[in-house]
Amino acid sequence: MVMPMKDSKSAQTFHRFTIPVFIRTLQNISKILVMAERHAKRHGIDPVTLLSSRLYPDMFTLLQQVQYLCFIPVDFAKNFSAIAAPRVGYDEASFADLKASIKLTIAYLRGVKPQDVKARGDAPLPLFFDESIGLPAESHATRMTLPDFFFHATVAYAILRHNGVPLGKADFIGPLGAVRLKKKKR
């Protein structure tokens, strides 16, 4: 079922489950990259070794995984923004470059507001690998963009864990901002 973006509540819900999710995950990945840099320095590992690591020969390197983490949400969000999309996910070559692209991506995403989503309406969004085909925004987000984004985030995390960077699930998920619940009296 396609979510009608013409009403404000649907657009706000759609926005809330896409744009802030990208931002939060990118912030977590940026922190993970800092931990990876520290690990490399502490253990005398050339940063290029980590950046060029991959889980399997036919998979992207860590560098490419993080490049895609910047490219995917920008490519998605440009459909809802009048602001020109930044060029990210192409030319990065170092941890500093990746963190700068993440920062630029987050700044761009923060410019996308729920009213921008509503203004877009129900028109299909083109797929990045074939702009001659598209999906309605909700389907695009749930079938393509979010799964692809989290695939690359997970693989980037796994590459670093595989290379000995001391990361845990909490580093990937980040702070929850949970509230203490009152215990039921028995």
Q: 145: which DSSP letter? A: I
Sorting pLDDT into bands at 50, 70 and 90, what band is 5?
low
User: What pTM value is reported for the model?
Assistant: 0.91
C-alpha 22, offset from chain centre: 4
pLDDT in tens, 99-141: 999 999 999 999 999 888 877 767 899 998 998 999 998 899 9
List Cα–Cα distances, 145 to 4, 100, 180, in angstroms.
18, 22, 33
Q: Would you state the pLDDT for residue 2? A: 45
Burial 131-140 (b: 16+ CB within 10 A, else e): eeeebbbbbb
160 neighbors 31 (Cβ within 8 angstroms): no
Mean per-residue pLDDT for 64-74?
97
- Closest alpha carbon to 32 in 127, 155, 185, 184: 155
pLDDT in tens, 43-59: 999 999 999 999 999 99
Q: What residues are paired with 134 via a beta bridge?
A: 126
pLDDT at 68 over 90: yes
pLDDT at 1 over 80: no
pLDDT in tens, 152-185: 999 999 999 999 999 999 999 998 888 989 887 7
62 neighbors 53 (Cβ within 8 angstroms): yes
Domains recognised in the chain with CATH numbers: 8-118+136-172 (1.20.120.450)
